[in-house]
Every structure is written in structure tokens, then in C-alpha cells.
């Protein structure tokens, strides 16, 4: 039981490049979330999903897109990366209790 | 939405000391969780505690839903307890986090 995993762990992008962050969970949870955390700050919700095929906007959705084609996977896409998207990204899944992935550190130059 | 406030914002303690962290919410909640973010950034779920008291080793938590607060107790602190502690409630399909308490344990 791996819990919540994230790929990649660290990535450097140039402004304007695109990338996809992958989150996978093996707990059969319905709800999944993407957060970002900037230095010294709390978590801010980007997008979330309440089940396969559903997505919804969170607090800071601009510049990001998501897809939940399979229940166990939740993808976060950056179509055209900007330096303001430099952050640590956390994925989580929830079915009563919330579990977080280890995070992806993204640096946009 | 319901506001979640934590106190104190910062706490510095000597190793071996006990501490109490508080989480106040502005309205009734029926799903409260406590998390620890360690200095390496890892977020760990400590307790799911909508009401009552739970204990896990040196940590315990109590939620009094009718009085709109929850407490996290850490006994005999260790340096590995350092980090930020968040409480959060689940409502409208997502967690709303408190402001956090930064705990520093000095050897």
C-alpha cells in the first residue's frame, strides 16, 4: 500500500514550457486534491475532484488544468509555466481522512 | 465560510517539555483533522477527531464540538516534533486549514 505518490519529485522549467504532474493513490478514495505551498505559507487549493471524470476549481486555479480520467490518478497540467508558479505542489486524497503525497518541487526560471 | 484560528502562532520549547496547541472554529464542524508538516515538508495526518479524545503515543487530541475548539497535546517533546501543526475541517467537499502553529523544539 503506497498511499499517495507524486511524479516527479523535482523539476526545473523555463518560462513558457509545459508539464504535467502525476498523482496516484491506491486507497480507492473518491476525492483528490492539488495544492500549492509557497515558502512560509499555508496550503492553497488549486483544483480538486470528487470522483472519476469530475473536476472543480479551488482557490487559485488560474494557469493550471486538471484531469481525472481514472479514479486512482489525478493529473495537474501547466500549459505555459510562469515564474509565479514556482512552488511546492502537494497532491492529496480523502475519504474521511486526508492523506498527502510527498510533494513536487517546481522551479520556473 | 467557517474561520479556523490556531494559537499560538509560534512556540519554542526545550526538549522534554509538554505543549498544548489550540484550534478554534467560528461555527460547528463535524469533521476535524490535525496534521504535522515536518521541517522537510512532509505532511502527515495525526488525528481524525470530530469529537472526543484520541491518543497516539505522546500525542493526544481532544475536540469539543459544542464549544467549537480542538486541542492537540504533545508530551515529552522531541526534536522530531518540530514543524508546523495544522488543524482543518472538511466541508463543501474540501478541507479548510487553520493558520498553523510553528513548533520549534530545542535540544
Residue B84 exposed, middle or buried by CB count within 10 Å (0-12, 13-18, 19+): buried
What are the beta bridge partners of residue A107?
A: A12
Nearest 5°: phi and psi at B81? -80, -10
Interface test with B, best of A5, A58, A98 (most B CBs within 10 A): A98
Mean pLDDT across B61-71: 95
Measured between CB atoms, does A42 come within 8 Å of chain B? Answer: yes
Q: How confident is the model at residue B13 (pLDDT cuts 50, 70, 90)?
A: very high
Measured between CB atoms, does A100 come within 8 Å of chain B? Answer: yes
The CB density around residue B96, as the number of other CB atoms within 10 Å, is 17
Mean pLDDT across B68-85: 97
pLDDT of residue A48: 98
Distance to chain B for A102, nearest Cα, Å: 6
Residue B2 CA to residue A54 CA, distance in Å, equals: 25
Interface test with A, best of B85, B95, B100, B102 (most A CBs within 10 A): B95
Tens digit of each residue's pLDDT (9 = 90 or more) over A30-86: 999 999 999 988 999 999 999 999 999 999 999 999 999 999 999 999 999 999 999
Distance to chain A for B78, nearest Cα, Å: 22
Give the chain A residue whose CA is nearest to the CA of B30. A96
pLDDT of residue A40: 86
Tens digit of each residue's pLDDT (9 = 90 or more) over A84-99: 999 999 999 998 899 9
Q: Under 8 Å CB-to-CB from A15, ≥6 apart: which residues?
A: A81, A82, A83, A108, A109
Distance to chain A for B48, nearest Cα, Å: 6
Using CB atoms, pick whichever of A31, A92, A103 lies closest to residue B41.
A103
Tens digit of each residue's pLDDT (9 = 90 or more) over B77-101: 999 999 999 999 998 999 999 999 9
Amino acid at each position: 500500500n503506497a498511499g499517495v505518490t507524486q511524479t516527479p519529485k523535482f523539476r526545473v522549467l523555463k518560462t513558457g514550457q509545459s508539464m504535467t504532474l502525476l498523482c496516484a493513490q491506491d486507497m480507492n478514495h473518491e476525492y483528490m486534491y492539488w495544492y500549492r505551498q509557497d515558502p512560509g505559507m499555508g496550503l492553497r487549493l488549486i483544483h480538486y475532484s470528487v470522483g472519476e471524470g469530475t473536476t472543480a476549481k479551488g482557490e487559485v486555479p488560474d494557469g493550471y488544468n486538471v484531469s481525472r480520467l481514472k479514479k486512482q490518478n489525478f493529473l495537474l497540467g501547466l500549459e505555459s509555466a510562469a515564474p509565479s508558479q514556482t512552488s511546492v505542489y502537494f497532491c492529496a486524497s480523502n475519504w474521511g481522512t486526508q492523506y498527502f503525497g510527498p510533494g513536487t518541487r517546481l522551479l520556473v526560471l | 465560510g467557517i474561520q479556523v484560528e490556531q494559537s499560538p502562532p509560534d512556540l519554542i520549547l526545550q526538549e522534554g517539555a509538554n505543549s498544548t496547541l489550540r484550534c478554534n472554529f467560528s461555527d460547528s464542524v463535524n469533521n476535524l483533522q490535525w496534521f504535522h508538516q515536518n521541517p522537510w515538508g512532509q505532511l502527515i495526518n495525526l488525528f481524525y477527531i470530530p469529537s472526543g479524545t484520541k491518543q497516539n503515543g505522546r500525542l493526544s487530541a481532544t475536540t469539543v464540538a459544542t464549544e467549537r475548539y480542538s486541542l492537540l497535546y504533545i508530551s515529552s517533546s522531541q526534536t522530531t516534533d518540530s514543524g508546523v501543526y495544522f488543524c482543518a475541517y472538511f466541508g463543501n467537499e474540501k478541507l479548510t486549514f487553520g493558520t498553523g502553529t510553528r513548533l520549534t523544539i530545542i535540544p
